[in-house]
Structure 1
Amino acid sequence: MGDDDRLFAEEMAGVKPLELERRVVLKKDSGDAVSIAARRAAATASSEARNFLSTSDIELLDPYYVLEFRREGVQHGVFRRLKQGKYAIEARLDLHKMTVDQARLQVFEFIREAMKADLRTVMIVHGRGHHSESKGAVIKSYVNRWLPEMDEVQGFSSAQPQHGGAGAVYIMLRKSERKKQENRDRLARGRSV
């Protein structure tokens, strides 16, 4: 033992630790687990009640099938830029290792949240289904069905190779009313100058 340790031990001889009484008593009982489970079930049920995305059987797509969808009114040049990956990706959702039901809920909530945040271009990584036991890309096939079912989706296209290629999809979302008004205001200012 060094001199400092010995001196410290001599000084601390006979010292008793202070007894602290607990000011907060944490009590966990089975009621907490039940209430947490009930809250989770209620949240899932409310999301499920609003979620209209189809879960019926579909024809499975080839893992390398290129996805493409464009609503009427989307300009060709805008859609071409989307397909080329020229727009900044503002949010990304990865569906790897999810079941169809999990993916369905995630896609629904992801698009809703993106709209609330006024995002325009997002990406979903669905994978190609190589590790699936089925004879096709299951999640990719469902994503291809779900996105056109959502009015918020203006168009989508399989990603460029550097962003995941046929295992991911770029999605263009509808402009929010606030963004439309900002554009009108900006254009009006430009004309008055």
Structure 2
Amino acid sequence: MTTKEERMTFLQEMEGVRKIRKPNRADIKKPTELTPGHLERQRAAQAQPLVDRNPLTADVVEPLTSHDVLSWQRPGVQHGVFRKLRLGQYPIEARLDLHRLTVEEARREVYRFVRDCVHYGVRSMLILHGKGERNPDGIAQLKSYLAKWLPELDDVLAFHSAQKHHGGTGAVYVMVRKSDRQKTENREKNRNR
């Protein structure tokens, strides 16, 4: 228990102390004035429009239905190689699912996917695009665009609608060219024979 004398000493020591009225939080407001450097960066960013390096076009395409078969090969692809691709006899090394994507999202994903596959040495892949059976007009929109986009990519050698167990006409096998690293390795391997 405190004595009267201790209480009086405490009150004398606390004389002039006031309660803090502001909340106990740091003031993190952004400065309202923009620095010259900030203004210059902002001006430069607005002056340079973003360059879309994606070569895939998103203009008008030939509409395809759920039952249409996709089939294409670049000149020079051997018939045996294309036949093996068509029959799904190459191992699927990568997959891309385009279900529920918009055309623009699919355009970006297809471009990035093919570019990454070539970079990492993936030769055969499966792209799931869906059949468009739920569309009231019966048009398989992503499939239609994919049929246009794949030949536009120089890295794509061939593609064909998948076998039934891999999605049938709702998916497509794609074969891409060898990466520069793979070509060099093949040359070295064949040189030593």
Aligned equivalent of 2:180: 177
Q: Does 1:137 align with 2:133?
A: no
Which region of structure 1 is more displaced relative to structure 2, 143-152 or 112-121?
A: 112-121
The higher radius of gyration belongs to 2
Q: Does 1:111 align with 2:105?
A: no
CA contact (8 A) 1:95 1:127 kept: yes
CA contact (8 A) 2:120 2:179 kept: no
* Distance verdict in 2 for CA 1:128–1:28, change over 3 Å: farther
TM-score using structure 1 length? 0.73
Give unpaired runs (5+ residues) of structure 2: 1-26, 31-48
Aligned equivalent of 1:81: 84
Instruction: Name the amino acid aligned to 1:157.
Output: H
Residue 29 of structure 1 and its aligned partner are, at CA, apart by 8.4
Q: Does 1:93 align with 2:103?
A: no
TM-score using structure 2 length? 0.73
Give unpaired runs (5+ residues) of structure 1: 1-26, 31-44
Q: Which of the two has greater helix per residue? A: 1
CA contact (8 A) 1:154 1:173 kept: yes
CA contact (8 A) 2:66 2:138 kept: no
Give the count of matched residue pairs: 154
**1:1-49: CA deviation from partner (whole Å, max 9, x where unpaired):** xxxxxxxxxxxxxxxxxxxxxxxxxx9989xxxxxxxxxxxxxx86x71
Identity of aligned residues (%): 46
Q: SS where residue 112 of structure 2 aligns? A: helix
Cα RMSD after superposing both structures: 2.7
Q: SS where residue 192 of structure 2 aligns? A: helix
Q: SS where residue 145 of structure 1 aligns? A: helix
Residue 112 of structure 1 and its aligned partner are, at CA, apart by 1.1
- Distance in 2, Cα, partners of 1:104 & 1:123: 16
- Distance in 1, Cα, partners of 2:28 & 2:173: 45
Instruction: Name the amino acid aligned to 1:188.
Output: R
Aligned equivalent of 1:54: 57
* Distance verdict in 2 for CA 1:100–1:134, change over 3 Å: farther
- Distance in 2, Cα, partners of 1:159 & 1:81: 12
Moved over 4 A (4+): 27-30
